[in-house]
Amino acid sequence: MNVVTLDKIGKTYHLDAVSVPALVDINLEIRPNCFTVISGPSGSGKTTLLNLIGCIDQADSGEIKVAGQAVQELSDDALSDFRARHLGFIFQNFNLLPVLTVAENVEYPLLLSRTPAAERKRRVAALLEAVGIADKARNLPGQLSGGQRQRVAIARALAPAPNLVLADEPTANLDSHTGAAIIALMREMQREHHVSFVFSSHDAKVMAEADDAVLIRDGHIEDIVRGNLMEAAQ
Ligand SMILES: Nc1ncnc2c1ncn2[C@@H]1O[C@H](COP(=O)(O)OP(=O)(O)OP(=O)(O)O)[C@@H](O)[C@H]1O
Ligand SMILES: [Mg+2]
């Protein structure tokens, strides 16, 4: 089963008298346990697409299924619960809570899902170790470099053991060397945790790193390149 299915999705923004068709008739299937990149130029609709998949925003038309659930059928409460259980988010500007330590930021989604304390501590320690910042557990986000902050965000996104992690331009605020390390870490985590990752990038080079690449331009899907099919099927 696909982790995401979009069927004839449309989204238009209305600003004063101007209508901007951000996504037009999008049909897309995202395979589970894959590393999928949404690639396209600035303004092509990448963030809009990720926000719809992440249930942050609503489509005007069409159907969206995430992890088998038709998300548009859920009530507000059920949708919050669904997001907390099944989705993890990584943002361009890291979006860590500045007054919480690194460990507390990673623990936060586990508090929301009412995970018992001993299990929370164990998961946080294991994730900080996995992303290579166990020594910064008691630091505040403001005391970290950009690359370190994004490592915390990756650990936080994985904490509730989601089906799908969504990352909108996760390397946009990093230098190219650190950005490449973050992409490699996301890839490693995707494989180890058997989770699906969908991330956006305007950098066509990252296509080589992904299982599948979705090319988007002016709100339309221009091409879908499926790679590593044998490996992903295992
Ligand atoms: N809140 C909004 N109100 C009006 N128009 C919007 C809004 N958000 C996005 N748009 C427009 O929708 C289109 C798609 O925007 P989107 O942010 O999805 O592109 P993007 O591919 O993520 O671009 P970038 O690479 O610059 O992040 C653009 O034309 C943009 O100007
Ligand atoms: Mg964007």
* Cα–Cα nearest to 185, from 125, 131, 230: 131
Q: Is 42 in the pocket of ligand 1 (CB under 6 A)?
A: yes
Residue 207: partners with Cβ closer than 8 Å, 6 or more residues away: 37, 39, 213, 225
What is this structure's pTM?
0.94
What is the per-residue pLDDT for 10? 98
Domain ranges in the chain? Answer: 32-51+75-233
Six-digit token string for 73? 């059928």
Quick one: pLDDT at residue 206? 85
Instruction: Indicate whether residue 22 lines ligand 1 (CB < 6 A).
Output: yes
- What is the crossing angle of helices 146-158 and 117-130, to 10°? 140
- Give the model's pLDDT for residue 234: 46
Question: Are the C-beta atoms of 92 and 169 separated by less than 8 Å?
Answer: yes
CATH number for domain 32-51+75-233, candidates 3.40.50.300, 3.50.50.60, 3.40.47.10, 3.40.50.10160:
3.40.50.300
User: Nearest ligand, CA of residue 39?
Assistant: 1
Confirm if 47 and 200 have CB atoms less than 8 A apart. Answer: yes
Question: Does the Cβ of 147 fall within 6 Å of ligand 1?
Answer: no
Which is the closest atom of ligand 1 to the Cα of 51? 18
Say what percent of the chain tops pLDDT 70.
97
Of ligand 1's listed atoms, the one at least distance from the Cα of 15 is: 4
Name the residue with the closest Cα to ligand 1, atom 29. 43
The residues of the chain scoring below 50 in pLDDT are 230, 232-234
Q: Are 163 and 2 in contact (CB under 8 A)?
A: no
Beta-bridge mates of residue 220:
217
Ligand 1 pocket, 214 CB below 6 A?
Answer: no
- Three-point CA angle 109, 112, 113, nearest 5°: 90
Residue 16 Cβ contacting ligand 1 at under 6 Å: no
